[in-house]
C-alpha cells in the first residue's frame, strides 16, 4: 500500500456495580432541561470491539505509505480536527467523520491514488487517543468526570458504576441524561436505569463524550 498526493430504589443492590471495577477522575457540571424522545439516545448491550473504534477529534494518527519515506516523515503525528478532518501533504484535507482507522486507510488510499500515487499501500495507526469523558453527578459515591475506556464505548450503567455506584438515597428510576448537540442545543431525557439493570444491562443507553448523567435523590 502506497499514498498518492431499580426496580424501586430500595430493591436495587449496590453490589450490582461491583462487577465493574475501574477508577474515575473528576469535575462537575449542570444539566439543562428539555424533553426528547427515547430514539435520540442509542441503546446497545455491548461495546464495540477495537476495530470498530470511530475516530474522534483530538485523536493523533500516524499515516504510513509503503515506500514513501518523505511523505511518511510529514505524517507521523496528524491530529483529527474538531470537524473530523486531517490535513495531509499533496492531497490536503481528508474527512474522517464516522470512520474507523481501517476505513480511514481506504479513504486516504483513494485520495492519493486519484492524482499522485499508483495503488498506494496505506496504514493508519492511532498513536494518541482524545480524552473522552462524561460527567456523573448527584446521588453517586463519587460525583466525577468519568473517562471512556480507550477504543470502547460506555453505557449509562457503567458510568454510574465508575462514579462509585448509587448512594443509599439515589433514585435510579429517574436518572437524567443531558446531551449537547452540534447546533448548541441540548437534549434531556429521564431514564429508568433500574429497569435496564433488571434486564442484565440489555438495552443500556450508550453515552457520548460530553454527556451529563444526573442521579436524583429519591423522594420519600
3-state secondary structure of 105: helix
d(CA 17, CA 160): 8
Based on the fold, state whether residues 44 and 61 are members of the same structural domain. Answer: no
pLDDT of residue 50: 56
In a domain, 4, yes or no: no
In a domain, 208, yes or no: yes
Based on the fold, state whether residues 206 and 136 are members of the same structural domain. Answer: yes
Based on the fold, state whether residues 141 and 190 are members of the same structural domain. Answer: yes
pLDDT of residue 161: 96
pLDDT of residue 149: 86
Chain mean position to CA 81: 16
Based on the fold, state whether residues 138 and 29 are members of the same structural domain. Answer: yes
d(CA 102, CA 10): 47
CB 62 within 8 A of CB 75: yes
Q: Domain count of the chain?
A: 2
Based on the fold, state whether residues 136 and 198 are members of the same structural domain. Answer: yes
**HEC sequence for 33-63:** CCECCHHHCCECCCCCCHHHCECCCCCEEEE
Going from the first residue of the chain to its last (220 residues), give the mean pLDDT of each consecutive group of 10, the final group possibly shorter: 38 39 37 39 46 88 96 96 96 96 96 94 94 95 92 91 96 96 89 93 87 93
Dihedrals φ, ψ of 103, to 5°? -70, -35
pLDDT of residue 11: 40
Burial class (CB in 10 A: 0-12, 13-18, 19+), 167: middle
Nearest residue to 55 (alpha-carbon basis) of 116, 2, 98? 98
The C-alpha cell of 149 is what?
A: 475506556
d(CA 197, CA 16): 8
Domain region containing 73: 57-128
Q: What is the CATH number of the domain that holds 95?
A: 3.30.1950.10
In a domain, 158, yes or no: yes
Based on the fold, state whether residues 98 and 113 are members of the same structural domain. Answer: yes
Based on the fold, state whether residues 95 and 122 are members of the same structural domain. Answer: yes
pLDDT of residue 51: 66
The C-alpha cell of 106 is what?
A: 481506504
Amino acid at each position: 500500500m502506497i499514498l498518492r498526493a431499580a426496580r424501586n430504589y430500595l430493591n436495587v443492590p449496590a453490589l450490582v456495580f461491583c462487577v465493574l471495577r475501574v477508577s474515575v477522575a473528576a469535575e462537575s457540571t449542570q444539566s439543562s432541561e428539555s424533553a426528547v424522545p427515547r430514539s435520540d439516545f442509542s441503546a446497545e448491550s455491548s461495546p464495540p470491539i477495537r476495530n470498530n473504534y470511530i475516530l474522534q477529534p483530538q485523536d493523533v494518527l500516524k499515516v504510513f505509505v509503503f515506500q514513501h519515506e518523505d511523505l511518511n516523515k510529514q505524517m507521523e503525528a496528524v491530529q483529527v480536527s474538531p470537524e473530523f478532518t486531517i490535513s495531509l501533504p499533496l492531497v490536503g484535507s481528508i474527512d474522517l467523520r464516522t470512520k474507523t482507522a481501517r476505513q480511514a486507510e481506504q479513504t486516504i488510499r483513494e485520495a492519493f491514488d486519484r492524482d499522485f500515487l499508483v495503488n498506494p499501500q496505506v496504514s493508519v495507526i492511532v498513536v494518541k487517543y482524545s480524552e473522552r469523558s462524561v460527567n456523573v453527578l448527584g446521588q453517586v459515591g463519587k460525583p466525577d468526570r468519568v473517562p471512556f475506556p480507550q477504543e470502547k464505548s460506555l453505557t449509562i450503567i457503567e458510568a454510574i458504576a465508575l462514579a462509585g455506584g448509587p448512594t443509599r438515597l439515589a433514585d435510579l428510576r429517574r436518572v437524567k441524561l443531558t446531551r449537547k448537540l452540534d447546533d448548541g442545543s441540548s437534549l434531556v431525557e429521564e431514564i429508568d436505569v433500574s429497569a435496564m439493570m433488571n434486564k442484565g444491562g440489555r438495552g443500556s443507553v450508550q453515552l457520548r463524550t460530553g454527556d451529563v448523567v444526573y442521579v436524583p435523590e429519591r423522594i420519600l
